[in-house]
Amino acid sequence: MGLAGRAGAEGLELTLAHGAALSADTPLARCDEWRRQGKEVAVRLVVIRCLFPADCDFGHDEAERRQQARAWVSAALERAARLGAECLHVAPACLAMADASGAPPEVDYADALNRTYESLSELWPAAERCGVVLCVVPATGRFLLSPLETRALLDRVNSAYVGAALDWEAVARVGHPPAWIRTLGQRMAVVRVGGQEPDLSAALKALAAVHFRGSIVLTGPADDDALTRAREVLARALP
């Protein structure tokens, strides 16, 4: 946190994962302490990147594994709230590719989509109680590969506490990121983009057009030089 403060960052994205310093079973008192430490250096813990434990997610074929994923996110939301985070984002499902024999993926795409809707519908009240927006990350895990599909899912859930976290690099693999931004609009709570000037300039222009009011996360190396360069790029990219 001290490094981010010296570089002029207003907030941080932390990763929550099984076996990591921050996980879904981290004591709440420790989260309170980290939040206090952030205040001391004027850095907020704004966004939590939530990784599922192995072999569970919202789209899993086994109901027990889906319930495990929902319990993990519910606990993660509570810790995000204690850290003072505004958003928690998660890749909702990971679909396998067909194998060499041409056999279909283990999880059917439509089933994964409906199961993700069910999980988000169950979890949004917990997100609302915590005051943390639960975001899905599209175009990851070979899932949610269209901005129209992602928008339809969010509109179906219809909660202010469920949104999208758009990863510029991920959506660039399947489409045109500015088009995703235009389609999702205010449904986005987080946009993650690298510190390279062309991508950042394009992202800021597209976000301004939809009056984006969420968090922009700059991804890349976490050292003094990298953070300072990112700050300079951001200053030049802003109109």
Domains of the chain in sequence order: 2-95+106-237 (3.20.20.150)
What three-state secondary structure class fits 222? coil
pTM above 0.95, yes or no: no
Tell me the CA distances in angstroms from 20 to 16, 23, 51, one per residue in order: 7, 6, 10
Condensed to tens digits (0 to 9), the pLDDT of residues 66-123 reads 999 999 999 999 999 999 999 999 999 999 765 555 555 679 999 999 999 999 999 9
Q: Residue 226 pLDDT more than 50?
A: yes
DSSP string, 42-84: T-EEEEEEE-PPTT--TT-SSHHHHHHHHHHHHHHHHHHHHHT
**Contact predicate 177/203, CB 8 Å:** yes
CB count within 10 Å of CB 152 equals 13
Condensed to tens digits (0 to 9), the pLDDT of residues 35-74 reads 999 999 888 889 999 999 999 999 999 999 999 999 999 9
Residue of 35, 172, 57 whose CA lies nearest to 115: 57
Q: Residue 2 pLDDT more than 60?
A: no
pLDDT given at position 199: 80
Q: Identify the bridge partners of residue 194 per DSSP, sorted by sequence position.
A: 219
pLDDT given at position 234: 65
